[in-house]
Amino acid sequence: MYAHHNGVNNLNFKKTITIITVITLTLLTLSGCTTFDNFKKAFIDKPQDNDVTIAIGVYEPMSGSDKAGAAAEVEGIELAHEMYPTVQGKIVELIYADNSSDIEAAETAINTLISREPTVILGSYSDVLSLSACEAIEKAKIPTIAITNTNPLITKDYDYYCRVCYVDSNQGDLLAQYVLNNRKQKQAGVLAPAGDDAAQAEATAFTDRMRAETGDDDAITFYEYFHAGDQDFTKQLTKAKKKGVKQIIITGEIADAANIINQAADMDLDIQFLGDSKWGTEDFTSLLSKNVTSDMMAFVQFFATDGDTATATVSKEKETFLKAYKEKHGNQRAEPEDAVALGYDAYCLALDVISKTPEDATSEDIIKLLTGPQYQYEGASGLINFSSIGDPVKTAYISTWENGSITTLYTIDPVE
């Protein structure tokens, strides 16, 4: 037995030497300036045959200052890929492009990714990084799905970009619907940072909806500005108390919003503050004082583990997503962030639209179907279709923080 085993080892050793010799001779015969990197790219890293694979590009900051923020998006994409690794009988290959959280690096990253000819691109985290890729994507005509980008310019001026989250102004409109339809209030207030265009757009949308629905130009009874980074909001909050306003939207950064809410709690004010989806993060809740109660805040969410649609049905995809997430993380995490569910949905949307087009479909065919009036998809984050410019018409949730977890207060289903 020992002699036989030794013979097998000798045979394997000879095979190994032969393989190494062939590779070495190949490298030695490569011409001129050809390097091992060229050889590696041509033979070892060669993309799989397009006849048996479909490439999905992942354009994200895998390094740099935005890496942590992008992690949830990437996690959602990869979880969906684990669940659905094939489409049209082909293997789905994820091709990563690290834009390094840097605008200059982003240009190289998106062009390198485009050269790999993905069918669809997903990402990027950060409005600026997505905007820096828009022109290259438009020129290449590759359908691209943004995940958490809220800047309206990403889809407004570019036909091949769409998104699975609401823009800033939409969130202001959703919060007004909550005040009017759930809280049954006909008046509200606004606190906005001066000089912030995105924050102002959100405040304007909130104001416009309140006035339009009530028919009252004075529906906003309290409108005050502050400067980003201010520490004392006593003046504004005292005015709000005198006005007797019950709901106030705060636009801008989470640090300012948390500061305002903390001071309102110290003043024992009976006001519910309204915010966008950034309030649904652990970064935000970590800034709140112990005096802040769940009834003092309400914010937009794109995903809710406990929120059903108005028809009281839970989508099959949500169940699949939550089961897969729990199996992967166990009790280490209470529930997935918005961005994980949105990343998951972005990948699933890509596969769904690919599956509904012929194998020889062009990129124009794919984006036309995706943003067409008849297309609809029910994903983990709810029912979704797209407007003609690629913005979503989808389920949204108004939620609050309660005992360290997010609780849904109101569900808004998409209206055609």
Class of residue 414 by CB neighbours under 10 A (exposed 0-12, middle 13-18, buried 19+): middle
Q: Residue 159 contacts by C-beta under 8 Å, 6 or more apart in sequence?
A: 138, 367, 390
Question: What was the pLDDT predicted at 52?
Answer: 87
Angle, CA of 180, 182 and 188, to the nearest 5°: 40
Question: What was the pLDDT predicted at 50?
Answer: 56
Q: Which CATH number goes with the domain that contains 220?
A: 3.40.50.2300
Question: What was the pLDDT predicted at 4?
Answer: 38
Residues 98, 222, single domain; the answer is: no
Domain boundary among 262, 286, 301: 301
Q: Measure Cα distances from 66 to 121, 125, 128, 251, 254 in Å.
A: 19, 8, 11, 22, 17
Domain boundary among 254, 278, 301: 301
Q: Within a domain: residue 400?
A: no
Domain boundary among 286, 301, 316: 301
The count of structural domains within the chain is 2
Q: Within a domain: residue 10?
A: no
Q: Is residue 415 classed as helix, strand or coil in its secondary structure?
A: coil
Q: Within a domain: residue 247?
A: yes
Q: Which two tokens stand for residue 200?
A: 């102002």
Q: Measure Cα distances from 217 to 177, 309, 342 in Å.
A: 17, 32, 36
Q: Alpha-carbon distance 194 to 384, whole Å?
A: 34
First CA to last CA across the chain, in angstroms? Answer: 76
Rounded to the nearest 5°, which phi and psi values hold at 223? Answer: -140, 110
Packing angle between helix 67-83 and helix 316-329, nearest 10 degrees?
Answer: 110
Residues 249, 327, single domain; the answer is: no
pLDDT along the chain (416 residues), means of 10: 38 42 42 40 45 94 96 97 96 98 97 98 96 97 96 93 92 96 97 94 97 97 97 97 97 97 98 96 93 97 70 73 92 82 97 94 94 91 89 92 92 74
Q: Within a domain: residue 53?
A: yes
Q: Which contacts qualify for 148-152: CB closer than 8 Å, 24 or more apart?
A: 148/73, 148/277, 148/338, 148/339, 148/342, 149/124, 150/198, 150/276, 150/277, 151/127, 151/198, 152/201, 152/391
Residues 152, 245, single domain; the answer is: no
Question: What was the pLDDT predicted at 266?
Answer: 97
| Structural domain boundaries enclosing 204 | 169-301
Q: Within a domain: residue 350?
A: yes
Residues 196, 283, single domain; the answer is: yes
Residues 254, 189, single domain; the answer is: yes
DSSP-derived secondary structure for 209-260: HHHHHHT-TT-EEEEEEE-TT----HHHHHHHHHHT-SEEEE-S-HHHHHHH
Residues 187, 272, single domain; the answer is: yes
Adjacency order of strands within the sheet including 396-402: 220-226, 188-193, 247-250, 272-275, 297-301, 396-402, 405-412
Quick one: residue 141, left, alpha or beta (phi over 0 = left, psi -120 to 50 = alpha)? left
pTM of the model: 0.81
Residues 182, 295, single domain; the answer is: yes
Residues 174, 128, single domain; the answer is: no
